[in-house]
Amino acid sequence: MDHPLVSHKITLLRSVNTSSPEFRHLVEELVTLLAYEATRHVRVEPTTVQTPIAEAHGVALSHPKPLVVPIMRAGLGMLEGMMRLMPSAEVGFVGMTRDEETLQPMTYAERLPHDLTGRQCFVLDPMLATGGSLGGAVEFLVRRGANHITCLCILAAPEGIEHFRELVHELGVPTNLVVAAVDDHLNERGYIVPGLGDAGDRLYGLA
Ligand code: U5P
């Protein structure tokens, strides 16, 4: 996303001198900016509203309501900013971790509606590194019936974007990816370079 305010906030986010409270605040601000772009195709239906003067035509979010899915742990830091823009959305949770040896994603927790038929989903994860976690979450949602998925990430590595594109091509479900910035590469430990380090640790301290 080419926007000077987004670039400015990412620069602050990257800095090793940025504290956890500042980091959380910056993530929230960035998500609100990304969410504006990411919700461009959110489904709405016509409605009318009475103004003090006359009846006006407008729109309301369609049913079923969009589902926002933060990938725990780091995606939780993006939830508040997203819900501020779309307060009537519902929220489901997926916990993914990656095996630090194989870099393969594993699902350790899940709290989602069982049937997602026809649902529009917005998946939140600040970092798209190998793409394993985001890809795993998207596969999960598609298997339950979601038929339109938008993923919001703050930083992405080109390798992760490539992996993600291949996966969604195989799944055959309309999927959008909105990222604030694309970095240079992944290192041998699966970290984005230059990146910002471990987003979960930066948000919540070492766990
Ligand atoms: N991750 C980071 N920083 C990085 C790379 C990965 O925090 O530089 C964490 C994020 O928490 C993200 C997950 O949820 O790893 C994504 O990794 P991957 O499955 O895309 O490799």
pLDDT in tens, 126-154: 999 999 999 999 998 999 999 899 999 99
pLDDT band at 104 (very low <50, low <70, confident <90, very high): confident
Over residues 99-115, mean pLDDT: 85
For the chain, the average pLDDT equals: 94
Query: What gap in Å lies between CA 121 and CA 42, rounded to an integer?
Result: 9
ipTM: 0.96
Q: Is the peptide bond before 111 cis (omega within 30 degrees of 0)?
A: no
Cβ 131 under 6 angstroms from ligand 1: yes
CA of 184 to the centre of ligand 1 (A): 15
Residue 26 has a pLDDT of 97
What pLDDT digit, counting tens, does each position of 5-30 carry?
999 999 999 999 999 999 999 999 99
Q: 21 to each of 13, 118, 126, 163, 205, how far by Cα in Å?
A: 11, 37, 16, 32, 10
> Which of 98, 101, 139 maximizes ligand 1 atoms within 8 Å of its Cβ, making it the mutation to test the pocket?
98
CA of 55 to the centre of ligand 1 (A): 49
Residue 59 has a pLDDT of 96
pLDDT band at 205 (very low <50, low <70, confident <90, very high): confident
Residue 106 has a pLDDT of 84
> Which of 27, 123, 127, 138 maximizes ligand 1 atoms within 8 Å of its Cβ, making it the mutation to test the pocket?
127
Q: Quote the percentage of the chain above a pLDDT of 90.
A: 88
Residue 67 has a pLDDT of 97
**178: which 2 tokens?**
């909105």
Residue of minimum CA distance from atom 21 in ligand 1:
130
CA of 5 to the centre of ligand 1 (A): 24
Cβ 125 under 6 angstroms from ligand 1: yes
pLDDT band at 96 (very low <50, low <70, confident <90, very high): confident
CA of 200 to the centre of ligand 1 (A): 9
Q: Is the peptide bond before 64 cis (omega within 30 degrees of 0)?
A: yes
pLDDT band at 82 (very low <50, low <70, confident <90, very high): very high
Residue 164 has a pLDDT of 95
Cβ 39 under 6 angstroms from ligand 1: no
Residue 1 has a pLDDT of 78
Cβ 138 under 6 angstroms from ligand 1: no
Over residues 159-182, mean pLDDT: 95
The CATH number fitting domain 4-204, selected from 3.10.180.10, 3.40.50.2020, 2.40.30.60, 2.40.50.100: 3.40.50.2020
Residue ranges covered by each domain of the chain = 4-204
Over residues 66-91, mean pLDDT: 95
pLDDT band at 169 (very low <50, low <70, confident <90, very high): very high
